A and B are shown apart, each in its own frame.
Chain A
Protein backbone atom coordinates (compact mmCIF):
# COMPACT_ATOMS: atom_id res chain seq x y z
CA UNK A 1 0.00 0.00 0.00
CA UNK A 2 2.78 2.38 1.01
CA UNK A 3 4.77 1.29 -2.00
CA UNK A 4 1.74 1.88 -4.24
CA UNK A 5 1.13 5.42 -2.99
CA UNK A 6 4.80 6.22 -3.48
CA UNK A 7 4.85 4.98 -7.06
CA UNK A 8 1.31 6.00 -8.01
CA UNK A 9 2.37 8.36 -10.81
CA UNK A 10 4.87 5.89 -12.25
CA UNK A 11 2.23 3.12 -12.22
CA UNK A 12 -0.28 5.48 -13.79
CA UNK A 13 2.16 6.34 -16.55
CA UNK A 14 2.88 2.68 -17.30
CA UNK A 15 -0.86 1.91 -17.37
CA UNK A 16 -1.55 4.81 -19.73
CA UNK A 17 1.31 3.98 -22.07
CA UNK A 18 0.34 0.28 -22.01
CA UNK A 19 -2.54 0.98 -24.42
CA UNK A 20 -0.09 1.80 -27.20
CA UNK A 21 1.96 -0.59 -29.37
CA UNK A 22 5.45 -1.24 -27.94
CA UNK A 23 7.26 0.82 -30.57
CA UNK A 24 5.44 3.98 -29.48
CA UNK A 25 5.62 3.49 -25.73
CA UNK A 26 8.91 5.26 -25.07
CA UNK A 27 7.96 8.33 -27.09
CA UNK A 28 4.49 8.44 -25.54
CA UNK A 29 5.82 8.26 -21.98
CA UNK A 30 8.21 11.14 -22.68
CA UNK A 31 5.40 13.23 -24.17
CA UNK A 32 3.11 12.49 -21.20
CA UNK A 33 5.84 13.45 -18.73
CA UNK A 34 6.56 16.69 -20.55
CA UNK A 35 2.87 17.57 -20.63
CA UNK A 36 2.56 16.85 -16.91
CA UNK A 37 5.58 19.04 -16.11
CA UNK A 38 4.22 21.86 -18.26
CA UNK A 39 0.84 21.53 -16.54
CA UNK A 40 1.98 21.13 -12.92
CA UNK A 41 4.44 23.99 -12.63
CA UNK A 42 2.23 26.77 -14.03
CA UNK A 43 -0.48 25.56 -11.61
CA UNK A 44 2.04 25.85 -8.81
CA UNK A 45 2.94 29.27 -10.24
CA UNK A 46 -0.67 30.42 -9.88
CA UNK A 47 -0.72 29.12 -6.31
CA UNK A 48 2.60 30.75 -5.48
CA UNK A 49 1.54 34.14 -6.84
CA UNK A 50 -1.61 34.04 -4.74
CA UNK A 51 0.39 32.93 -1.71
CA UNK A 52 2.90 35.69 -2.28
CA UNK A 53 0.29 38.40 -2.63
CA UNK A 54 -1.66 37.23 0.39
CA UNK A 55 1.47 36.63 2.47
CA UNK A 56 3.07 39.94 1.57
CA UNK A 57 -0.22 41.62 2.34
CA UNK A 58 -0.22 40.12 5.81
CA UNK A 59 3.39 41.14 6.39
CA UNK A 60 2.64 44.69 5.28
CA UNK A 61 -0.50 44.91 7.40
CA UNK A 62 -3.09 44.84 4.62
CA UNK A 63 -5.50 42.25 3.22
CA UNK A 64 -4.06 41.39 -0.15
CA UNK A 65 -6.39 40.27 -2.97
CA UNK A 66 -9.80 39.38 -1.53
CA UNK A 67 -12.36 40.31 -4.19
CA UNK A 68 -12.36 37.41 -6.68
CA UNK A 69 -13.95 34.26 -5.24
CA UNK A 70 -13.90 33.28 -1.57
CA UNK A 71 -10.85 34.88 0.14
CA UNK A 72 -9.63 35.93 -3.30
CA UNK A 73 -8.50 32.43 -4.30
CA UNK A 74 -9.69 32.92 -7.88
CA UNK A 75 -7.35 35.90 -8.33
CA UNK A 76 -4.83 33.93 -10.49
CA UNK A 77 -7.63 32.98 -12.89
CA UNK A 78 -8.66 36.62 -13.21
CA UNK A 79 -5.02 37.63 -13.74
CA UNK A 80 -4.64 34.99 -16.43
CA UNK A 81 -7.74 36.14 -18.33
CA UNK A 82 -6.63 39.73 -18.01
CA UNK A 83 -3.15 39.10 -19.41
CA UNK A 84 -4.55 37.00 -22.27
CA UNK A 85 -7.04 39.62 -23.38
CA UNK A 86 -4.85 42.69 -22.96
CA UNK A 87 -3.48 44.48 -25.99
CA UNK A 88 0.05 43.48 -26.91
CA UNK A 89 1.92 46.76 -27.34
CA UNK A 90 5.30 46.66 -29.10
CA UNK A 91 7.26 49.93 -29.16
CA UNK A 92 7.56 51.51 -32.59
CA UNK A 93 11.38 51.50 -32.57
CA UNK A 94 11.69 48.07 -30.97
CA UNK A 95 13.49 45.24 -32.68
CA UNK A 96 10.39 43.17 -33.46
CA UNK A 97 11.95 39.72 -33.84
CA UNK A 98 14.27 39.87 -30.83
CA UNK A 99 11.52 41.49 -28.78
CA UNK A 100 9.23 38.59 -29.65
CA UNK A 101 11.84 35.87 -29.05
CA UNK A 102 13.02 37.00 -25.62
CA UNK A 103 10.11 35.69 -23.48
CA UNK A 104 10.04 32.45 -25.48
CA UNK A 105 13.75 31.80 -24.91
CA UNK A 106 13.29 32.44 -21.20
CA UNK A 107 10.31 30.10 -20.77
CA UNK A 108 11.86 27.31 -22.84
CA UNK A 109 15.19 27.47 -21.01
CA UNK A 110 13.48 27.55 -17.63
CA UNK A 111 11.27 24.54 -18.37
CA UNK A 112 14.18 22.51 -19.75
CA UNK A 113 15.75 22.40 -16.28
CA UNK A 114 12.91 20.26 -14.94
CA UNK A 115 13.86 17.43 -17.27
CA UNK A 116 16.58 16.26 -14.88
CA UNK A 117 15.05 16.99 -11.46
CA UNK A 118 14.11 13.83 -9.54
CA UNK A 119 10.68 14.76 -8.19
CA UNK A 120 10.17 11.49 -6.35
CA UNK A 121 11.49 7.94 -6.30
CA UNK A 122 11.82 6.91 -10.01
CA UNK A 123 10.20 10.19 -10.99
CA UNK A 124 12.72 11.87 -13.25
CA UNK A 125 12.24 12.45 -16.94
CA UNK A 126 15.86 11.77 -17.94
CA UNK A 127 18.59 10.29 -15.78
CA UNK A 128 21.70 11.69 -17.38
CA UNK A 129 25.31 11.14 -16.48
CA UNK A 130 25.81 14.90 -16.18
CA UNK A 131 22.38 16.16 -15.19
CA UNK A 132 23.82 18.74 -12.78
CA UNK A 133 25.75 20.28 -15.65
CA UNK A 134 22.60 20.20 -17.77
CA UNK A 135 20.70 22.23 -15.20
CA UNK A 136 23.41 24.89 -15.11
CA UNK A 137 23.66 24.94 -18.90
CA UNK A 138 19.95 25.70 -19.14
CA UNK A 139 20.17 28.29 -16.37
CA UNK A 140 22.92 30.08 -18.27
CA UNK A 141 20.66 30.47 -21.28
CA UNK A 142 18.17 32.61 -19.34
CA UNK A 143 20.73 35.43 -19.12
CA UNK A 144 20.64 35.76 -22.87
CA UNK A 145 16.87 36.20 -22.89
CA UNK A 146 17.20 38.96 -20.32
CA UNK A 147 19.67 40.72 -22.56
CA UNK A 148 17.45 40.22 -25.62
CA UNK A 149 14.47 41.72 -23.80
CA UNK A 150 16.39 44.70 -22.48
CA UNK A 151 18.20 45.54 -25.69
CA UNK A 152 15.36 45.03 -28.16
CA UNK A 153 12.97 47.32 -26.30
CA UNK A 154 15.05 50.42 -27.19
CA UNK A 155 14.28 51.89 -23.82
CA UNK A 156 16.99 53.15 -21.52
CA UNK A 157 15.31 51.71 -18.45
CA UNK A 158 15.05 48.32 -20.09
CA UNK A 159 18.70 48.45 -21.07
CA UNK A 160 19.77 49.52 -17.59
CA UNK A 161 17.73 46.71 -16.09
CA UNK A 162 19.26 44.19 -18.47
CA UNK A 163 22.79 45.37 -17.68
CA UNK A 164 22.11 45.14 -13.97
CA UNK A 165 20.53 41.72 -14.36
CA UNK A 166 23.40 40.29 -16.40
CA UNK A 167 26.10 41.66 -14.10
CA UNK A 168 24.28 40.23 -11.10
CA UNK A 169 23.50 36.87 -12.66
CA UNK A 170 27.07 36.32 -13.85
CA UNK A 171 28.51 37.21 -10.43
CA UNK A 172 26.16 34.99 -8.48
CA UNK A 173 26.27 32.13 -10.93
CA UNK A 174 29.90 31.58 -9.92
CA UNK A 175 28.82 31.18 -6.30
CA UNK A 176 25.89 28.96 -7.27
CA UNK A 177 28.16 26.67 -9.28
CA UNK A 178 30.98 26.49 -6.76
CA UNK A 179 28.68 25.85 -3.80
CA UNK A 180 27.21 22.85 -5.60
CA UNK A 181 30.66 21.59 -6.62
CA UNK A 182 31.19 20.64 -2.94
CA UNK A 183 28.26 18.23 -3.23
CA UNK A 184 29.72 16.75 -6.40
CA UNK A 185 33.09 16.30 -4.66
CA UNK A 186 31.52 14.28 -1.86
CA UNK A 187 29.10 12.18 -3.93
CA UNK A 188 31.54 11.70 -6.80
CA UNK A 189 28.76 12.00 -9.34
CA UNK A 190 27.14 14.66 -11.47
CA UNK A 191 23.87 12.72 -11.64
CA UNK A 192 21.11 14.26 -9.52
CA UNK A 193 19.53 10.84 -8.99
CA UNK A 194 22.76 9.55 -7.44
CA UNK A 195 23.08 12.69 -5.31
CA UNK A 196 19.65 12.03 -3.82
CA UNK A 197 20.47 8.35 -3.31
CA UNK A 198 23.62 9.33 -1.42
CA UNK A 199 21.51 11.34 1.05
CA UNK A 200 18.77 8.75 1.47
CA UNK A 201 20.29 6.91 4.46
CA UNK A 202 19.47 7.24 8.13
CA UNK A 203 21.52 7.14 11.35
CA UNK A 204 19.60 7.19 14.65
CA UNK A 205 16.49 8.11 12.68
CA UNK A 206 18.15 11.19 11.23
CA UNK A 207 18.81 11.52 7.49
CA UNK A 208 22.23 11.95 5.85
CA UNK A 209 21.22 15.21 4.22
CA UNK A 210 24.16 17.32 3.16
CA UNK A 211 22.74 20.34 4.93
CA UNK A 212 23.50 18.60 8.23
CA UNK A 213 27.26 18.59 7.56
CA UNK A 214 29.40 21.74 8.09
CA UNK A 215 30.38 22.12 4.42
CA UNK A 216 26.81 21.31 3.41
CA UNK A 217 25.40 23.94 5.73
CA UNK A 218 27.79 26.59 4.42
CA UNK A 219 27.13 25.47 0.84
CA UNK A 220 23.39 25.55 1.47
CA UNK A 221 23.45 29.09 2.88
CA UNK A 222 25.57 30.33 -0.03
CA UNK A 223 23.37 28.47 -2.48
CA UNK A 224 20.21 30.07 -1.07
CA UNK A 225 21.77 33.54 -1.31
CA UNK A 226 23.00 32.94 -4.85
CA UNK A 227 19.69 31.43 -5.93
CA UNK A 228 17.83 34.47 -4.60
CA UNK A 229 20.11 36.65 -6.71
CA UNK A 230 19.87 34.37 -9.72
CA UNK A 231 16.07 34.54 -9.76
CA UNK A 232 16.14 38.34 -9.25
CA UNK A 233 14.18 38.08 -6.03
CA UNK A 234 14.22 40.68 -3.29
CA UNK A 235 16.65 41.70 -1.71
CA UNK A 236 18.49 41.21 -5.02
CA UNK A 237 15.72 42.64 -7.20
CA UNK A 238 17.78 45.53 -8.59
CA UNK A 239 17.22 44.46 -12.21
CA UNK A 240 13.54 45.30 -11.83
CA UNK A 241 13.71 47.82 -9.00
CA UNK A 242 10.30 49.43 -9.42
CA UNK A 243 11.25 52.64 -7.65
CA UNK A 244 14.34 53.17 -9.82
CA UNK A 245 13.93 51.79 -13.32
CA UNK A 246 10.17 51.08 -13.71
CA UNK A 247 10.31 47.31 -14.24
CA UNK A 248 13.80 46.76 -15.62
CA UNK A 249 14.25 44.61 -18.68
CA UNK A 250 10.54 43.86 -19.20
CA UNK A 251 9.33 47.46 -18.97
CA UNK A 252 8.18 47.42 -22.60
CA UNK A 253 6.29 44.14 -22.42
CA UNK A 254 2.56 43.96 -22.08
CA UNK A 255 -0.23 41.43 -22.26
CA UNK A 256 0.71 37.82 -22.64
CA UNK A 257 4.43 38.43 -23.18
CA UNK A 258 4.58 40.10 -19.79
CA UNK A 259 2.74 37.10 -18.34
CA UNK A 260 5.36 34.85 -19.93
CA UNK A 261 8.15 36.78 -18.23
CA UNK A 262 6.29 36.55 -14.96
CA UNK A 263 5.77 32.83 -15.48
CA UNK A 264 9.41 32.31 -16.42
CA UNK A 265 10.56 34.08 -13.30
CA UNK A 266 8.42 31.99 -10.98
CA UNK A 267 9.02 28.70 -12.74
CA UNK A 268 12.73 29.47 -12.62
CA UNK A 269 12.30 29.95 -8.89
CA UNK A 270 10.66 26.51 -8.60
CA UNK A 271 13.45 25.02 -10.68
CA UNK A 272 16.22 26.42 -8.55
CA UNK A 273 14.35 25.55 -5.34
CA UNK A 274 13.93 21.98 -6.55
CA UNK A 275 17.57 21.85 -7.57
CA UNK A 276 18.76 23.14 -4.18
CA UNK A 277 16.42 20.71 -2.43
CA UNK A 278 17.95 17.89 -4.44
CA UNK A 279 21.49 18.96 -3.66
CA UNK A 280 21.29 19.83 0.03
CA UNK A 281 17.90 18.87 1.49
CA UNK A 282 17.82 15.26 0.39
CA UNK A 283 15.49 15.69 -2.58
CA UNK A 284 12.53 13.36 -2.14
CA UNK A 285 13.83 11.59 0.99
CA UNK A 286 11.94 11.89 4.27
CA UNK A 287 13.32 14.07 7.09
CA UNK A 288 13.01 11.28 9.68
CA UNK A 289 13.32 7.53 9.18
CA UNK A 290 9.92 6.97 10.83
CA UNK A 291 8.32 9.13 8.14
CA UNK A 292 9.52 7.12 5.13
CA UNK A 293 5.99 5.77 4.58
CA UNK A 294 4.87 9.17 3.28
CA UNK A 295 5.13 9.20 -0.55
CA UNK A 296 8.40 10.64 -1.82
CA UNK A 297 6.81 13.19 -4.15
CA UNK A 298 4.99 14.78 -1.20
CA UNK A 299 8.37 15.45 0.41
CA UNK A 300 9.84 16.93 -2.74
CA UNK A 301 6.99 19.32 -3.44
CA UNK A 302 6.64 20.12 0.27
CA UNK A 303 10.29 21.15 0.46
CA UNK A 304 10.03 23.21 -2.72
CA UNK A 305 6.95 25.02 -1.38
CA UNK A 306 8.70 25.67 1.94
CA UNK A 307 11.59 27.16 0.00
CA UNK A 308 9.15 29.40 -1.91
CA UNK A 309 7.57 30.50 1.38
CA UNK A 310 11.05 31.41 2.59
CA UNK A 311 11.60 33.52 -0.53
CA UNK A 312 8.31 35.31 0.08
CA UNK A 313 9.22 35.90 3.71
CA UNK A 314 12.59 37.34 2.63
CA UNK A 315 10.85 39.65 0.19
CA UNK A 316 8.59 40.93 2.94
CA UNK A 317 11.51 41.47 5.31
CA UNK A 318 14.63 42.80 3.60
CA UNK A 319 15.15 46.09 1.75
CA UNK A 320 16.78 46.17 -1.66
CA UNK A 321 20.58 46.13 -1.85
CA UNK A 322 22.63 48.74 -3.69
CA UNK A 323 24.66 47.80 -6.73
CA UNK A 324 28.02 48.25 -4.97
CA UNK A 325 26.87 46.24 -1.96
CA UNK A 326 25.68 43.52 -4.29
CA UNK A 327 29.01 43.23 -6.07
CA UNK A 328 31.14 43.57 -2.95
CA UNK A 329 29.14 40.90 -1.23
CA UNK A 330 29.45 38.50 -4.15
CA UNK A 331 33.13 38.88 -4.92
CA UNK A 332 34.68 39.81 -1.59
CA UNK A 333 32.60 37.81 0.87
CA UNK A 334 30.64 34.98 -0.71
CA UNK A 335 33.22 33.85 -3.27
CA UNK A 336 36.14 33.39 -0.81
CA UNK A 337 33.81 31.52 1.54
CA UNK A 338 32.73 29.22 -1.30
CA UNK A 339 36.35 28.47 -2.16
CA UNK A 340 37.13 27.75 1.49
CA UNK A 341 34.06 25.52 1.56
CA UNK A 342 35.54 23.44 -1.25
CA UNK A 343 38.72 22.93 0.76
CA UNK A 344 36.69 21.95 3.82
CA UNK A 345 34.71 19.48 1.71
CA UNK A 346 38.00 17.90 0.60
CA UNK A 347 39.12 17.76 4.25
CA UNK A 348 35.82 16.05 5.15
CA UNK A 349 36.38 13.52 2.39
CA UNK A 350 39.89 12.61 3.55
CA UNK A 351 39.25 12.65 7.31
CA UNK A 352 36.19 10.42 7.02
CA UNK A 353 32.83 11.21 8.58
CA UNK A 354 32.80 11.37 12.38
CA UNK A 355 32.22 13.67 15.33
CA UNK A 356 35.83 15.01 15.32
CA UNK A 357 35.72 15.75 11.60
CA UNK A 358 32.38 17.48 12.06
CA UNK A 359 33.74 19.72 14.81
CA UNK A 360 37.00 20.54 12.99
CA UNK A 361 35.24 21.42 9.73
CA UNK A 362 32.60 23.44 11.53
CA UNK A 363 35.24 25.36 13.50
CA UNK A 364 37.21 26.25 10.35
CA UNK A 365 34.12 27.56 8.57
CA UNK A 366 32.76 29.41 11.62
CA UNK A 367 36.10 31.15 12.32
CA UNK A 368 36.50 32.13 8.67
CA UNK A 369 32.94 33.44 8.55
CA UNK A 370 33.31 35.55 11.70
CA UNK A 371 36.72 36.92 10.67
CA UNK A 372 35.59 37.87 7.19
CA UNK A 373 32.40 39.46 8.41
CA UNK A 374 34.33 41.47 11.02
CA UNK A 375 36.98 42.73 8.61
CA UNK A 376 34.33 43.49 6.02
CA UNK A 377 32.43 45.59 8.53
CA UNK A 378 35.57 47.33 9.75
CA UNK A 379 36.66 48.33 6.26
CA UNK A 380 33.45 50.27 6.02
CA UNK A 381 32.23 48.55 2.88
CA UNK A 382 28.69 48.81 4.18
CA UNK A 383 28.77 52.56 4.83
CA UNK A 384 27.38 55.30 2.59
CA UNK A 385 28.15 55.08 -1.08
CA UNK A 386 31.04 57.03 -2.52
CA UNK A 387 30.29 58.48 -5.95
CA UNK A 388 33.00 58.57 -8.57
CA UNK A 389 31.34 60.45 -11.35
CA UNK A 390 28.32 62.18 -9.90
CA UNK A 391 30.16 64.63 -7.64
Chain B
Protein backbone atom coordinates (compact mmCIF):
# COMPACT_ATOMS: atom_id res chain seq x y z
CA UNK B 1 0.00 0.00 0.00
CA UNK B 2 1.81 3.06 -1.21
CA UNK B 3 1.22 6.59 0.05
CA UNK B 4 -0.45 7.40 -3.29
CA UNK B 5 -3.04 4.73 -2.62
CA UNK B 6 -3.89 6.28 0.74
CA UNK B 7 -4.25 9.74 -0.78
CA UNK B 8 -6.65 8.41 -3.41
CA UNK B 9 -8.54 6.39 -0.81
CA UNK B 10 -9.02 9.50 1.33
CA UNK B 11 -10.25 11.45 -1.72
CA UNK B 12 -12.72 8.72 -2.70
CA UNK B 13 -14.08 8.03 0.75
CA UNK B 14 -14.07 11.68 1.80
CA UNK B 15 -16.03 12.60 -1.31
CA UNK B 16 -18.56 9.85 -0.69
CA UNK B 17 -18.96 10.82 2.97
CA UNK B 18 -19.38 14.48 2.08
CA UNK B 19 -22.00 13.53 -0.50
CA UNK B 20 -24.03 11.88 2.25
CA UNK B 21 -23.55 14.48 4.96
CA UNK B 22 -23.76 17.82 3.14
CA UNK B 23 -27.08 19.65 3.29
CA UNK B 24 -27.12 21.28 -0.11
CA UNK B 25 -28.00 18.94 -2.96
CA UNK B 26 -25.60 20.57 -5.41
CA UNK B 27 -22.77 20.30 -2.89
CA UNK B 28 -23.54 16.60 -2.57
CA UNK B 29 -23.39 16.21 -6.35
CA UNK B 30 -20.02 17.95 -6.48
CA UNK B 31 -18.73 15.78 -3.63
CA UNK B 32 -19.81 12.66 -5.49
CA UNK B 33 -17.85 13.94 -8.47
CA UNK B 34 -14.78 14.17 -6.25
CA UNK B 35 -15.38 10.58 -5.24
CA UNK B 36 -15.63 9.56 -8.92
CA UNK B 37 -12.34 11.32 -9.60
CA UNK B 38 -10.67 9.51 -6.72
CA UNK B 39 -11.90 6.20 -8.10
CA UNK B 40 -10.59 7.08 -11.58
CA UNK B 41 -7.19 7.93 -10.11
CA UNK B 42 -7.25 4.60 -8.27
CA UNK B 43 -7.83 2.79 -11.58
CA UNK B 44 -4.91 4.69 -13.12
CA UNK B 45 -2.68 3.84 -10.18
CA UNK B 46 -3.48 0.15 -10.74
CA UNK B 47 -2.40 0.49 -14.39
CA UNK B 48 -5.90 0.25 -15.87
CA UNK B 49 -5.61 3.24 -18.20
CA UNK B 50 -8.73 2.56 -20.21
CA UNK B 51 -10.96 2.09 -17.18
CA UNK B 52 -9.51 5.18 -15.52
CA UNK B 53 -9.99 7.51 -18.46
CA UNK B 54 -13.43 6.11 -19.18
CA UNK B 55 -14.34 6.74 -15.57
CA UNK B 56 -13.29 10.37 -16.04
CA UNK B 57 -15.06 10.73 -19.36
CA UNK B 58 -18.32 8.99 -18.47
CA UNK B 59 -18.77 9.66 -14.78
CA UNK B 60 -17.36 13.18 -14.50
CA UNK B 61 -18.07 14.34 -18.05
CA UNK B 62 -21.55 12.88 -18.37
CA UNK B 63 -23.08 11.40 -15.20
CA UNK B 64 -22.10 14.23 -12.85
CA UNK B 65 -23.22 16.84 -15.37
CA UNK B 66 -26.51 14.99 -15.84
CA UNK B 67 -27.06 14.90 -12.08
CA UNK B 68 -26.47 18.62 -11.56
CA UNK B 69 -28.56 19.43 -14.61
CA UNK B 70 -31.42 17.35 -13.29
CA UNK B 71 -31.16 19.05 -9.88
CA UNK B 72 -31.22 22.49 -11.48
CA UNK B 73 -34.19 21.69 -13.69
CA UNK B 74 -36.37 19.99 -11.10
CA UNK B 75 -35.93 21.63 -7.72
CA UNK B 76 -34.56 24.71 -6.05
CA UNK B 77 -31.00 24.53 -4.85
CA UNK B 78 -31.85 25.88 -1.41
CA UNK B 79 -30.59 23.90 1.54
CA UNK B 80 -32.93 21.49 3.22
CA UNK B 81 -34.06 22.67 6.62
CA UNK B 82 -34.24 19.31 8.32
CA UNK B 83 -31.29 17.07 9.19
CA UNK B 84 -29.51 14.94 6.65
CA UNK B 85 -30.47 11.64 8.29
CA UNK B 86 -33.62 10.03 7.02
CA UNK B 87 -36.02 8.54 9.60
CA UNK B 88 -35.21 5.02 8.36
CA UNK B 89 -31.46 5.36 8.75
CA UNK B 90 -31.14 2.27 10.92
CA UNK B 91 -32.71 -0.05 8.32
CA UNK B 92 -30.59 1.56 5.60
CA UNK B 93 -27.45 1.04 7.64
CA UNK B 94 -28.20 -2.64 8.15
CA UNK B 95 -28.90 -3.21 4.45
CA UNK B 96 -25.76 -1.34 3.38
CA UNK B 97 -23.64 -3.25 5.88
CA UNK B 98 -25.08 -6.55 4.66
CA UNK B 99 -24.36 -5.73 1.00
CA UNK B 100 -20.84 -4.61 1.91
CA UNK B 101 -20.23 -7.80 3.89
CA UNK B 102 -21.37 -10.02 1.00
CA UNK B 103 -19.24 -8.12 -1.51
CA UNK B 104 -16.19 -8.12 0.74
CA UNK B 105 -16.59 -11.82 1.52
CA UNK B 106 -16.86 -12.78 -2.17
CA UNK B 107 -13.86 -10.63 -3.13
CA UNK B 108 -11.74 -12.11 -0.38
CA UNK B 109 -12.71 -15.63 -1.44
CA UNK B 110 -12.22 -15.00 -5.15
CA UNK B 111 -8.43 -14.97 -4.80
CA UNK B 112 -8.48 -18.61 -3.73
CA UNK B 113 -10.94 -19.65 -6.45
CA UNK B 114 -8.91 -18.25 -9.33
CA UNK B 115 -6.00 -20.50 -10.26
CA UNK B 116 -2.49 -19.03 -10.44
CA UNK B 117 -3.07 -15.30 -10.93
CA UNK B 118 0.18 -14.22 -9.39
CA UNK B 119 1.37 -12.29 -12.47
CA UNK B 120 -0.01 -8.80 -12.93
CA UNK B 121 -2.51 -8.87 -15.81
CA UNK B 122 -1.76 -6.42 -18.63
CA UNK B 123 -4.83 -5.00 -20.33
CA UNK B 124 -3.98 -2.65 -23.17
CA UNK B 125 -6.70 -0.74 -24.96
CA UNK B 126 -6.20 -2.92 -28.02
CA UNK B 127 -6.79 -6.11 -26.01
CA UNK B 128 -9.96 -4.66 -24.50
CA UNK B 129 -11.19 -3.70 -27.96
CA UNK B 130 -10.49 -7.13 -29.39
CA UNK B 131 -12.19 -8.82 -26.45
CA UNK B 132 -15.26 -6.62 -26.90
CA UNK B 133 -15.44 -7.35 -30.62
CA UNK B 134 -14.62 -11.04 -30.21
CA UNK B 135 -15.88 -13.17 -27.31
CA UNK B 136 -17.98 -10.41 -25.71
CA UNK B 137 -19.70 -9.12 -28.84
CA UNK B 138 -23.14 -10.40 -27.79
CA UNK B 139 -23.23 -8.60 -24.42
CA UNK B 140 -21.97 -5.49 -26.18
CA UNK B 141 -24.80 -5.66 -28.71
CA UNK B 142 -27.38 -6.27 -25.98
CA UNK B 143 -26.14 -3.20 -24.10
CA UNK B 144 -26.29 -1.22 -27.34
CA UNK B 145 -29.90 -2.28 -27.97
CA UNK B 146 -30.82 -1.47 -24.37
CA UNK B 147 -29.30 2.00 -24.61
CA UNK B 148 -30.96 2.67 -27.96
CA UNK B 149 -34.35 1.70 -26.58
CA UNK B 150 -33.74 3.96 -23.57
CA UNK B 151 -32.89 6.79 -25.95
CA UNK B 152 -36.06 6.23 -27.99
CA UNK B 153 -38.06 6.07 -24.78
CA UNK B 154 -36.62 9.40 -23.65
CA UNK B 155 -37.48 10.98 -26.99
CA UNK B 156 -41.06 9.66 -26.76
CA UNK B 157 -41.45 11.05 -23.24
CA UNK B 158 -40.20 14.41 -24.47
CA UNK B 159 -42.45 14.38 -27.55
CA UNK B 160 -45.60 13.58 -25.63
CA UNK B 161 -45.46 16.90 -23.85
CA UNK B 162 -45.27 18.78 -27.14
CA UNK B 163 -48.35 17.06 -28.55
CA UNK B 164 -50.32 17.92 -25.44
CA UNK B 165 -49.44 21.58 -25.79
CA UNK B 166 -50.74 21.87 -29.32
Interface residues, chain A, with chain B CB atoms under 8 Å away: 95, 98, 128-130, 133-134, 136-141, 143-144, 147-148, 151, 159, 163, 166, 170, 173, 188-190, 388
Contacts and interface: CB of A to CB of B under 8 A. Distances in A.
B26 A151 contact: yes
Interface stretch (B1-9, B50-58, B91-99, B135-143): B50-58
Interface string B63-79: 01100110010000100
B69 A166 contact: yes
Contacts of A130: 49-50, 53, 125
A129 B49 contact: yes
B30 A133 contact: no
Interface in B18-50: 26-27, 30, 33, 40, 49-50
B165 A144 contact: no
Contacts of A170: 62, 65
Question: What are the 6 tightest A-B residue pairs by CB atom distance, in nearest-first order?
Answer: A140-B61, A137-B56, A133-B53, A137-B53, A137-B57, A130-B49
B16 interface: no
A151 B77 contact: yes
A273 B69 CA distance: 29
Contacts of B148: none
A143 B65 contact: yes
A170 B67 CA distance: 13
A151 B49 contact: no
**Residue of A98, A138, A140 contacting most chain B CB atoms (<10 Å):** A140
Contacts of B65: 143-144, 147, 166, 170
A147 B50 CA distance: 26
A143 B68 CA distance: 11
A163 B69 CA distance: 8
B30 A128 contact: no
A140 B56 contact: yes
Which of B27, B40, B57, B126 gathers the greatest number of chain A CB atoms within 10 Å? B57
Grouping DSSP codes into helix (H, G, I), strand (E, B) and loop, the A interface class, with mixed when no group exceeds half, is helix
A140 B125 contact: no
A141 B26 contact: no
B65 to A, nearest CB: 6
Nearest to A190: B125
Interface of B: 26-27, 30, 33, 40, 49-50, 53-54, 56-57, 60-62, 64-65, 68-69, 72, 77, 124-126, 165
A186 to B, nearest CB: 14
A147 B60 CA distance: 12
B33 A144 contact: yes
Contacts of B165: 388
Contacts, number: 64
Contact of A133 (B54, B60, B69): B54
B53 A151 contact: no
Contacts of B124: 129
B38 to A, nearest CB: 14
A134 B26 contact: no
Q: Tell me if B's interface is mostly helix, strand, loop or mixed.
A: helix
A149 to B, nearest CB: 12
A89 B32 CA distance: 29
8 contacts: A95-B27, A129-B124, A140-B56, A140-B61, A151-B72, A166-B69, A170-B62, A170-B65
Nearest to B77: A151
B120 to A, nearest CB: 15
Contacts of B54: 133, 137
B62 A140 contact: yes
A151 B69 CA distance: 11
Contacts of B56: 137-138, 140-141
B33 A136 contact: no
A132 to B, nearest CB: 9
A129 B72 contact: no
B53 A173 contact: no
B64 A144 contact: yes
Contacts of A148: 30
Contacts of B33: 144
A129 B128 CA distance: 12
A136 B69 contact: no
A133 B55 CA distance: 11
Nearest to B59: A140
A143 B61 contact: yes
A86 B1 CA distance: 46
Contact of B61 (A128, A137, A190): A137
Contacts of A163: 69, 72
A136 B62 CA distance: 12
B50 A98 contact: no
A324 to B, nearest CB: 14
Contacts of B68: 147, 151
Given A128-B49, A143-B65, A166-B65, A136 B57 contact: yes
Nearest to B58: A140
Contacts of A140: 56-57, 60-62
B24 to A, nearest CB: 8
Contacts of A189: 126
B30 A98 contact: yes
